[in-house]
Amino acid sequence: MSERIVIKNLAAHADGPVTVSGWVETVRDQKKVQFVVLRDESGAVQLVNPRNSDAEGVVIADEPAITISSLAQGTFVTATGELKHDERVKLGGIEIKLSSLEVVTEAIAETPIASDSSIDKRLDWRFLDLRRPEQNLVFRLQTTFEHALRSYWVEHDFIELHTPKLMASASESKAELFEVDYFEGKAYLSQSPQFFKQMAQPAGFGKVFEVGPAFRADPSFTSRHATEFTSIDSEISWIDSHEDVMRLHEELLVAGFAAVKEKHGAEIEALFGIEVTVPSTPFPRIPLAEAKRIVAERGYEVPRHDDDMDPEGERQIAAYVRETFGHEFVFLTDYASSIRPFYHMRHADDAALTNSYDLIFNGVEISTGAQREHRVEILEAQARDKGLDPEELDFYLDFFRYGVPPHGGFGMGLARVIMLMLGLSSIREVTYLFRGPNRLLP
């Protein structure tokens, strides 16, 4: 048997004998000719098998016609035949005239999901749902996006970290912690690598990044929340303010979006109807108080039960930014210290505000970033303000007792970025295996 060729490479291959492998997508079993659409991880191709007849015109039951007639959707096969370029063929302008067809593994005839199945049903059978070209593209472009971020970091002399996901205490709020048995005691699944990426600053690493899992015990069923998600984190030393963090953040995103558009832009437009836009820099920056005023002038009052921007407010300010600046991103800055973690630095002239931001992309918050407080006595005081016991944070506070440079960073949800890039309505569509309050399988 000749060497297998992936389908996307057939267009550049000369006419002649080829071997391809994949799963059966459709079969048209006609009297004089059979057609099979075969799909692999790279694309689809049409297989053609003209049927043989005897002298009286009666169709002969021979191979591979017998095998084709019994093929179920999803069956994995290896096909060998003659490749022919023909612009009349709608599927890629090529087809393969079969000489042999080998069934590698058979599929059950009736599939448990269809194109109109609900997202929950499709998640039950995720391995079948992932066969769709749209889903295949999601994870190829995600790979490109992450590679572009990592290339930026490496080219700018960042150090990659792999921080532990078992912790002795909370990094943010104990209310969102998963507690697990740990030998004779208790441990917690990490909500964020926050403490550990900060630890790299007194260690003298300077600039660090991590792409890894994070866990939130948040019983939320919204389209943008998960109990386990992939977090993109970065932290840098020797900053003057959170403006330095925002500059890093926007440069990373430009690198990621540019790579995705260059490699997958045409395919994204064909499958999702979305034109990927590489954002211009600098991204718009709007203080939160001003953003709330703008939203109010648009006819929506953000509820006053806290100092944050609610989801509708995020959508409204995003619409304003699109209309005013022609931009899909906006940094909302200067959040109240009352709703920010104890380790966010507060304004030098107004302790009620922090040197922090949220990044909004197409109306949804995808990230929080800030300058960190590096003065240990202020950190201790701010921890007490939040009702935390500094003694329980002693291992963290030790980082700041032996010298630490001014620093800051951000954490960003990967799935939210990909979801919004593709104009999808749920992170379930762009998470390989979603985990939520009522989903631990598959």
Mean pLDDT lowest among 248-257, 387-396, 410-419: 387-396
CATH of the domain at 29: 2.40.50.140
Together in a domain, 136 and 97: no
Give the length of the chain: 442
Kindly state whether residue 286 falls inside one of the protein's structural domains: yes
Kindly state whether residue 85 falls inside one of the protein's structural domains: yes
Q: Which residues are annotated as a binding site for L-aspartate?
A: 172, 216, 368, 372
**Of 74, 105, 136, the domain-final residue:** 105
Provide the pLDDT for residue 54: 72
Q: Could you tell me what percent of the chain has a pLDDT over 90?
A: 91
Cα separation, 431 vs 413, in Å, equals 11
pLDDT band at residue 55 under the 50/70/90 scheme: low
Together in a domain, 248 and 327: yes
**Of 105, 139, 167, the domain-final residue:** 105
Together in a domain, 346 and 202: yes
The dihedrals phi and psi of 381, each to the nearest 5 degrees, come to -65, -40
Provide the pLDDT for residue 121: 97
pLDDT tens, 350-402?
Answer: 999 999 999 999 999 999 999 999 999 999 999 999 999 999 899 999 999 99
Kindly state whether residue 59 falls inside one of the protein's structural domains: yes
Q: What is the 3-state composition of the chain as percent helix, strand, coil, each rounded to the nearest 5?
A: 35, 30, 40
Q: Is the pLDDT of residue 1 over 60?
A: no
Provide the pLDDT for residue 307: 82
Mean pLDDT lowest among 102-111, 214-223, 303-312: 303-312
Q: Is the pLDDT of residue 82 over 80?
A: yes
Together in a domain, 68 and 145: no
Handedness of CA 211, 213, 214, 218 (dihedral sign): positive
Provide the pLDDT for residue 33: 95
pLDDT (mean) for 321-325: 98
Together in a domain, 276 and 321: yes
Together in a domain, 327 and 410: yes
**Look-up: residue for tokens 């925002």?**
246
Together in a domain, 21 and 157: no
Total-model pTM: 0.95
Q: Could you tell me what percent of the chain has a pLDDT over 70?
A: 97
Kindly state whether residue 440 falls inside one of the protein's structural domains: no
Kindly state whether residue 117 falls inside one of the protein's structural domains: no
Cα separation, 310 vs 344, in Å, equals 21
Kindly state whether residue 16 falls inside one of the protein's structural domains: yes
Q: Which residues are annotated as a binding site?
A: 172, 216, 365, 368, 372, 413-416
Domain limits for position 61: 7-105
150 CB contacts (<8 Å, ≥6 apart)? 160, 209, 211
Provide the pLDDT for residue 85: 97
CATH of the domain at 385: 3.30.930.10
Query: H/E element holding 227?
Result: none
Together in a domain, 135 and 101: no
Together in a domain, 56 and 86: yes
pLDDT (mean) for 265-271: 97
Q: Is the pLDDT of residue 37 over 60?
A: yes
The dihedrals phi and psi of 182, each to the nearest 5 degrees, come to -140, 90
Kindly state whether residue 121 falls inside one of the protein's structural domains: no
Q: Is the pLDDT of residue 62 over 90?
A: no
Cα separation, 89 vs 9, in Å, equals 17
Together in a domain, 100 and 131: no
**Of 105, 136, 161, the domain-final residue:** 105
The count of domains in the chain is 2
Report CA 179 to chain centroid distance, whole Å: 26
**Burial of residue 379 (number of CB atoms within 10 Å: 0-12, 13-18, 19+):** buried
Provide the pLDDT for residue 173: 60
Together in a domain, 158 and 72: no
Together in a domain, 21 and 132: no
Q: Which residues are annotated as a binding site for ATP?
A: 365, 413-416
Provide the pLDDT for residue 426: 96
Kindly state whether residue 116 falls inside one of the protein's structural domains: no
pLDDT (mean) for 35-63: 88
pLDDT band at residue 225 under the 50/70/90 scheme: very high
Provide the pLDDT for residue 135: 97
Provide the pLDDT for residue 115: 86
